Chains A and B, each alone.
Chain A
Amino acid sequence: MEEKVLTRHFGVPDLLRIEVYRGQGGYQAAEKALKQMTPAEVLEEVKKASLRGRGGAGFPAGVKWSFVPQNIPKPRYLCVNADEGEPGTFKDRYLLTHNPHLLLEGTILASYAVGIRAAFVYIRGEYETVARRLEGAIAEAYKVGFLGEKIMGTEFNLDVVVHRGAGAYVCGEETALLESLEGKRGYPRLKPPFPASVGLFQCPTVINNVETLSNIPFIIQNGAEWFLKRGLPKDGGTRIFGVSGMVKRPGIYELPLGTKLRAIIFDQAGGMKDGKRLKAVIPGGMSAPILTEEEIDLPMDFDSLVSAGTMLGSAAIIVIDQETSILDVLGVVSRFYAHESCGQCTPCRIGTSWINKIVKRMVRGEGEADDIDSIIRLATNIKGRTLCPLGDAAAMPILSICQKFRRELEGYLRHA
């Protein structure tokens, strides 16, 4: 398919080897940037490409880079967020498994643009094979002089270190990631200050998602214009959609931003499995508010989904069929956030646990008439009042499930 960018070489055998990657045009963007462009030109190109962060929040990457102060004596750091923990999301895993050098090239470009000499890849602890592949790729890159000192014969130096997480969802939150990387408890930090000014080891830090950085080589190689054409005017490039759940062909699908959700499910992923009927879709990872069957005719881009009251998040599409009990969905969601709440702030720590206790009681068949209202009230008390976005991430799907599927949930109550 023509519009594929990030996954276009996925079928190439041994793509994870540096010579194969170079044979596909790999590291040409890095060479071009390091030898022909100034860091400011690289930054400007990325800004023009309207590349929005692929981790979930969708913050423009170039703008984020430009927040990093250049005129202070402290070192600057890049943290690659490979702590892919959002349920339903597996795109970074594919990117790293198949094409680790693409991330490294993006890392070199971002570091060059921001004036960074050390980058850390914080990788999800469970991604053991992935981490080993990435470490192998890093070793190869050092060997040929693409990492380390005087990269490609230029004056640019960069070291890349892989750090494996220990299994906490919250460490995907950028400031908790920094704490964890510093060897501390993965507790999100109070913002401001933002990591761009006070980040890793109190130094200015850029934190980018794997997919975000993997886009950079294409932007530099082909230009911002080319990149913009593959997406939307305010939202450049393609997006890797991860489709899971009751579809015929679950997996990752790289498509232009703005592709219709219904088309992704029914055309790309082959439609519903075993003749099942679609009931609901979670469009952007588990934190995204749920959509009913009637709501899925909408383009998958940041702004359209926000208008629809949900979010694109990590573009992980979870497809739920009619036979799946919405109470079970609610149970999975509430258990996950109760389990993953770090415990730092009151509403999230106690709220997620309380909701989970109510839902568990409902699952046992002991639900009472006011339970759904209680869950809505508690989730409302979490939303917007927590220290980090995990609280919102828990409250939003729970609220949307309770509101959109209230009648079905009421059917599970004791006195229904």
Chain B
Amino acid sequence: MPRFQIDDRVIESAPGMTVLNAAEAAGIDIPHFCYHPAFPPEGSCRMCLVEIEGLPKLELACSTLVKEGLKVRTKSPKVIEARKGVLEFLLAEHPLDCPICDQAGECKLQDYFDEYGLFHSQFKEAKEKREKKFRLGRNLILDRERCILCTRCVRFLEEITKTEEAGLLNRGIRCEVGVFDSEVVDNDYSGNLAQICPVGAITDSDFRFKTRVWFLESRESICPLCSRGCNVYVDSHPGYPRTPRARRVYRVRGRVNPDVNSYWICDIGRYGYAYLDEGRAPRLAWRKGGRDTRLTWAKAAQILTEKARSLVERGKGSRIGVILNSNLTNEELFLADRLFRKGLGVENIFLADPPPGKGDQILLTPDRTANRRGLKEAGPPVKAPGLKALADLDLLFVFGHYLASGIGPGELKAALAKVEAKALFSTHRSDLDDLVDFIIPTPVIAEKSGSLTNIDGRVQTFSAALEYEGEGLPEWRALLDLARELNVEPGLFSALTSPESVHRVLRDTVSFFK
């Protein structure tokens, strides 16, 4: 391991590491624009220049490899002056329209000026006039005046999607990012361009002018829209009054995880967040004779458990059915298994999931559920729901609103009409609402905590990125309540109070989760 010096610190780092990476690992910030850890060094922005003892010129931290005995200075007068020089150049031709720029507040140019610049402009000439609203992609607007030509976007399209829609046009000061005439960046990862743009050059038409980033609260979550389990940030508005948008969530961004999604997320995960706020099932309802009656979960649980108990006591346990889905957490699936299959001896455990879609070679999987692998490892064996099997039941617990999408609505209605009591635990409104007796709203993945197992078998824990605002409760809590009410496995269930406690049991009892 080469030992070398950065400023007054001696650092040891793996051979083959760059000065910039090694410095970052040691907590020393070296400013940069064009360098992005997902790509090979580009060396064009010249912001990361550092002084290396014995070398006449300043060297690039992003491409210089560490070496035994190297002496790097990141704060010497020469380095400070060089950084100022680069900032002065970039800002000379920059429109400085921060007040109307969506990037303001998370802009590298802004941040670096604050940290390394703070000079008065000496630029007396006319700035270059360029296109401010170039439609670069499906959801992307390019402001060429703000662009600093770091080419991260171009390289992303070369290296990650390999679609190469964008390139550089012209030369020198007239150099600009462009696409072929009448074409745009149109691939399922285009949203990443806005995220990796270090300045406000590429903005997301979905986010543009909707809010200021400093009003947003970023919390970590896992994208549940396919089985990759991409790590994301959910950026929401924590209450600052803001019209016209009544939504909480303003954007979803990729969060770095080299083992899962690298730096990226697909456009389905990025732009599909409307479901977090739209079409949600808000009310706990008891549908009796065509009328909704308000009730509490305690009351609903009491009715459901009484029904279950009486069926079990009369030896009619086989007339209880459960429909699960692959978007439940590992913990919930484990609880469902212990409560229904092992506790009550329920045999009719079915699975109803959202239909699969098209996958790609990058991240998106054809399976559009978050936890199919978790179901296999933590949940009970499941079968496909048949109309006849459903019609033979007296009590049905339905988790998720996906059943309606798989079966013809008329036939489903007829089959479910024969079931005496049907409880639906659902995040969203659906056609199924009219076919059941109890509607118990539940939070979505972003609103609860637990763990999911992705397509590669990686178990990822997460906590709530958003407050759950509905009247219902998470499925894990509902399952715990039902189990306690039914006095199933008291030794197990009485100790469980949270997804974390369930997860511990899961780790202790299921070898996959060890």
Contacts and interface: CB of A to CB of B under 8 A. Distances in A.
B417 interface: no
Interface stretch (B121-129, B360-368, B398-406): B121-129
A361 B123 CA distance: 12
Interface stretch (B42-50, B188-196, B479-487): B42-50
A354 B172 contact: no
Interface stretch (A23-31, A103-111, A291-299, A381-389): A381-389
Given A338-B172, A346-B86, A349-B149, A358 B125 contact: yes
Contact of A343 (B63, B92, B167, B174): B174
Contact of B172 (A339, A381, A387): A339
A347 interface: yes
A381 B44 contact: no
B171 A168 contact: yes
A342 B172 contact: yes
Interface in A378-398: 381, 384-387
Interface in A168-207: 168, 185, 190
A343 B85 contact: no
A154 B173 CA distance: 52
B295 to A, nearest CB: 65
B81 to A, nearest CB: 8
A288 to B, nearest CB: 19
B173 A350 contact: yes
A253 B406 CA distance: 88
A345 B175 contact: no
Contacts of A149: none
A349 B175 contact: yes
A47 interface: no
Interface in A333-379: 338-347, 349-354, 357-358, 361, 368, 370, 374
Interface in B56-107: 56-58, 60, 63, 82, 85-86, 88-90, 92-93
A190 B125 contact: no
A357 B93 CA distance: 12
A343 B175 contact: yes
Interface residues of A, number: 30
Given A168-B171, A338-B172, A385 B125 contact: no
B89 A350 contact: yes
Contacts, number: 97
B170 interface: yes
B46 A343 contact: no
Interface string B163-177: 000011011111100
Contact of B88 (A342, A343, A368, A381): A381
Contacts of A338: 172-173
Given A341-B171, A341-B172, A345-B43, A384 B58 contact: yes
A343 B45 CA distance: 11
A368 B123 CA distance: 12
A341 B46 CA distance: 15
A356 to B, nearest CB: 9
A368 B174 contact: no
A258 B43 CA distance: 38
A185 B168 contact: yes
B148 interface: yes
Contact of B46 (A354, A370, A385): A385
Contacts of B122: 370, 374
A156 to B, nearest CB: 37
Interface of A: 168, 185, 190, 338-347, 349-354, 357-358, 361, 368, 370, 374, 381, 384-387
9 contacts: A342-B172, A345-B45, A346-B90, A346-B149, A349-B172, A349-B175, A350-B93, A368-B124, A387-B44
Which 3 residue pairs spanning A and B have beta carbons closest together? A343-B175, A381-B85, A353-B173
